[in-house]
Amino acid sequence: MKEKEELIPEKKPPTALRLHQLNDVRVIGRLVREPEVRLTSKGQSVCRLDIAVNRRYKGADGEWKEEASFIPVVVWREEAQRCGDRLKKGSPVYVEGRLKSRNWETKEGQKRTSIEVDSRRVQFLEKAG
């Protein structure tokens, strides 16, 4: 009787690790300046908001400290117009969106990059008045 040959499985190349992508931002803060509404070259409304988000924490010395992060937000279409009509400096807002990077060149030829929130939803946290 012949002995059975051992079958050696064929080695497959390692597969790449598939990572899920997540780009989701939610912030609550107050506008640090008046909203800027303008129209794009295609006639679409766009509004820029700058929001201050405060963080309070206890430092290594045991004292309470505060720091603020200033976050640029871009709002599009009808919601952009509503933001321009209803919001003002100091207005509290809740923003949902995603981070988006932007590259441009200055008049002097220097390359610049910024990150901003491309909003999906803006909720006013103050009654219209």
Helix (H) / strand (E) element for 71: namely strand 64-76
d(CA 65, CA 102): 32
At 73, which CATH number?
Answer: 2.40.50.140
d(CA 102, CA 113): 6
User: Which structural domain, as residue segments, surrounds residue 117?
Assistant: 25-124
Query: 71 in a domain, yes or no?
Result: yes
Query: 58 in a domain, yes or no?
Result: yes
Query: 36 in a domain, yes or no?
Result: yes
d(CA 42, CA 46): 11
Query: 87 in a domain, yes or no?
Result: yes
Query: 18 in a domain, yes or no?
Result: no
Query: 20 in a domain, yes or no?
Result: no
The amino acid sitting at 7 is L
Query: 11 in a domain, yes or no?
Result: no
Alpha helices (runs of H) in the chain, residue ranges in sequence order:
77-86
Please report, in tens digits, the pLDDT of each residue of the chain (129 residues total): 555 566 666 777 667 777 778 999 999 999 999 999 999 999 999 999 999 999 999 999 999 999 999 999 999 999 999 999 999 999 999 999 999 999 989 999 999 999 999 999 999 998 876
pTM: 0.77
Query: 7 in a domain, yes or no?
Result: no
Number of structural domains, the chain?
A: 1
Closest to 119 (Cα-Cα) out of 70, 49, 22, 68? 49
When computed from its CA atoms, the radius of gyration of the chain, rounded to whole angstroms, is: 25
The amino acid sitting at 38 is R
